[in-house]
Chains A and B, each alone.
Chain A
Amino acid sequence: MVFPGTWSDRDCAHAVLDVLQEPVRYVDHREQSVDDLELVILPGGFSYGDYLRCGAIARFAPVMDAVADFANRGGLVLGICNGFQILQEARLLPGALLRNASCEFRCEWVHLRVEQSNSAFTLDSRPGQVLRIPISHGEGNFFADPETLEVIERSGQVVFRYCGADGRVTADANPNGSLHNIAGITNARGNVVGMMPHPERACEPLLGSDDGLAIFRSAIHALARVPA
């Protein structure tokens, strides 16, 4: 998915096409349908300059009605960074992402603990597994009201938490002030996932890690298990 200001679309395409050898199509924000696709990725960037709020304008792009229909039919959707913000603005995922508690843009490697392996993007992972993936954002501070947070936690919708290299979830490992160290969540159905870290930037050893591949591979395996 390419909105004006999207910047990680080519990195995502590289991970899926060049590394995993799966076909990729760039989808323009003015398109009306995504029915030919099996997986929709909303990459990172600064869609529409992030004016007003991150993702607030992109959410009304013509293609987003098609993405919402696709998601509601069970289609696999992954929102990365700005894509996560867009999915929340579109109410396809709960909560919101506030300015980082430090008020700084944070661009660094973090560790993520996989919290569950039920979502389409964590099938190949096991709970407790630690992934090393970079973040690059100024507004990734996960917030949800107490009732929503309780529902997300109780129903196992937290997919990734910021943690130390040893997998321990601590305040020190939280780069942005996110409630409960939340780095990624899924909808109740498990087909829509949003995450602030960038798995596409950790898909080859040359980049410093290939831990991000597990996320794309899981989606491919999920599609093989459930034929459309």
Chain B
Amino acid sequence: MRYRAEVFVTLKPVVNDPAGLTIRGGLHTLGFDSVTEVRAGKYLVLTLDETDATQARARVDAMAEQLLANAVIEDYRIELEPVGEPVATGDASA
């Protein structure tokens, strides 16, 4: 099965985020005064072939631990969805 994994990497709450602070300043300059906090991060989209969703998630988790995120300063979150094998819906063959 082919899966699409989205990995969101953000600085841990205790880590100062100068980019986020600068973006917040820009938003305030534009008049978006309601913004109290901006956290900047990375968004990675992976496509991978694995036997099932559990295996796919475990693999992406290992990738995040080893490379995609630095546990000293970053947290990550994974969202996974199947995209591979065509789903037989029966209504597209007219």
Contacts and interface: CB of A to CB of B under 8 A. Distances in A.
Interface of A: 52-53, 56, 60, 88-89, 95-96, 98-103, 141, 143-145, 177
Contacts of A145: 14, 72
A177 B70 contact: no
B84 interface: no
Nearest to B67: A56
B67 A98 contact: no
A177 B67 contact: no
A103 B73 contact: no
Nearest to B14: A145
A96 B70 contact: yes
Given A52-B42, A143-B72, 20 more contacts: A53-B70, A56-B67, A89-B70, A96-B72, A96-B73, A98-B11, A98-B15, A98-B18, A98-B73, A100-B18, A101-B16, A101-B18, A103-B18, A141-B16, A143-B16, A143-B73, A144-B72, A145-B14, A145-B72, A177-B16
Nearest to B15: A143
Interface size class of B (residues with CB under 8 A): 10 to 19
B53 interface: no
A83 to B, nearest CB: 17
Interface string B1-25: 0000000000100111011001000
B16 A98 contact: yes
Contacts, number: 38
Given A56-B67, A89-B70, A177 B15 contact: no
24 contacts: A52-B67, A56-B67, A88-B72, A96-B70, A96-B72, A96-B73, A98-B11, A98-B15, A98-B16, A98-B18, A99-B18, A99-B19, A100-B18, A101-B16, A102-B18, A103-B18, A103-B22, A141-B16, A141-B18, A143-B16, A143-B72, A144-B72, A145-B72, A177-B18
From B14, B19, B70, name the one whose CB has the most chain A CB atoms within 10 angstroms: B70
B81 to A, nearest CB: 23
Contacts of A56: 67, 70
Contacts of B42: 52
Contacts of B80: none
Contacts of A141: 16, 18
B68 interface: yes
Interface string B40-75: 001000000000000000000000000110101100
Contacts of B11: 98
